[in-house]
Structure 1
């Protein structure tokens, strides 16, 4: 049986997107409040951590966002561009990566979100579909993500994100070099 879980954080993401638009002199987007569709009950502490991840990152509050991570955390992007780092270990490396990449994409709508709690109560998978655009070019960026969240001692210990790189390349005008340079450090 599927259960809808209100995702307070994504409602805050909506508010943040509206605030960003207003600050940029644009009309605030009318975005619906997102709800996660859960296949199984989700550990409340893990759901809270997932919400904090989304909320703080969307608000570009990186100083607060990095506090939810364990000191020995691992951030993974298996589909990173060739020649770019795909694994970041430890809070300093994770923060540095996000300081370089945050602010390149504007999310205008979260189309859907699902959570799948795994047998391990500290691990869940989320499926997220967004609509947005590339900041600076306004090129469309409609993407689907599958993310793995793993918690240890109440902190985010491992995060793995899968996305379709072809969509991202197209959003950067089909320019693989521009896409590659937009994400992360060289290996």
Structure 2
């Protein structure tokens, strides 16, 4: 029996999957009932996605809109709850439609149970990325 990855190891693995544009493998890191929330989502954008299938639908077109090149400055902080981490990081790359630079700061609060993501609160500024008619993952509003 394999020991599940720690939350920090799982998170770093997930970042590599995003860089590899392997969205199905990234979605496979999620628990079936996992919740992805965006506390700063503007009106008309989803603020909460419930379940692995909803997360997969939301992220499916991400590489069509944002070409990630790196996650510099990743800092993972362990909390008093061994299953929860707080992550500070930047994602850099290009906006596919315009070729404009993409450089976004993120803070995430992530909970992992039994080797799967059960909760992911994504604190980012969607107003900093103007994708006409689409949210950060390319889901049309």
TM-score tier after normalising by the smaller chain length: 0.7 to 0.9
Structure 2 residue 37 is matched with structure 1 residue 79? no
Matches within 5 A, 1:130-149: 130-149=91-110
TM-score (ref. length: structure 2) = 0.83
What is the RMSD computed on CA atoms of the aligned residues? 1.9
Does the 8 Å contact 2:18/2:68 carry over to 1? no
Could you say which residue in structure 2 is the equivalent of 1:121?
A: 82
Q: Greater Rg, structure 1 or structure 2?
A: 1
**Structure with higher helix content:** 1
CA distance 1:158–1:83, change in 2 (3 Å): same
CA distance 1:51–1:98, change in 2 (3 Å): same
Aligned length: 135
Does the 8 Å contact 2:19/2:69 carry over to 1? no
| Offset of residue 52 of structure 1 | 2.2
| Offset of residue 185 of structure 1 | 5.8
Does the 8 Å contact 1:112/1:130 carry over to 2? no
CA distance 1:147–1:96, change in 2 (3 Å): same
- Report the Cα distance in structure 1 between the residues aligned to 2:52 and 2:27, rounded to whole angstroms: 7
CA distance 1:50–1:182, change in 2 (3 Å): same
Could you say which residue in structure 1 is the equivalent of 2:134?
A: 181
Structure 2 residue 93 is matched with structure 1 residue 108? no
Over 4 Å off, 4+ runs:
none
TM-score (ref. length: structure 1) = 0.65
Does the 8 Å contact 1:104/1:134 carry over to 2? yes
Does the 8 Å contact 1:101/1:182 carry over to 2? no
- Report the Cα distance in structure 2 between the residues aligned to 1:185 and 1:153, rounded to whole angstroms: 33
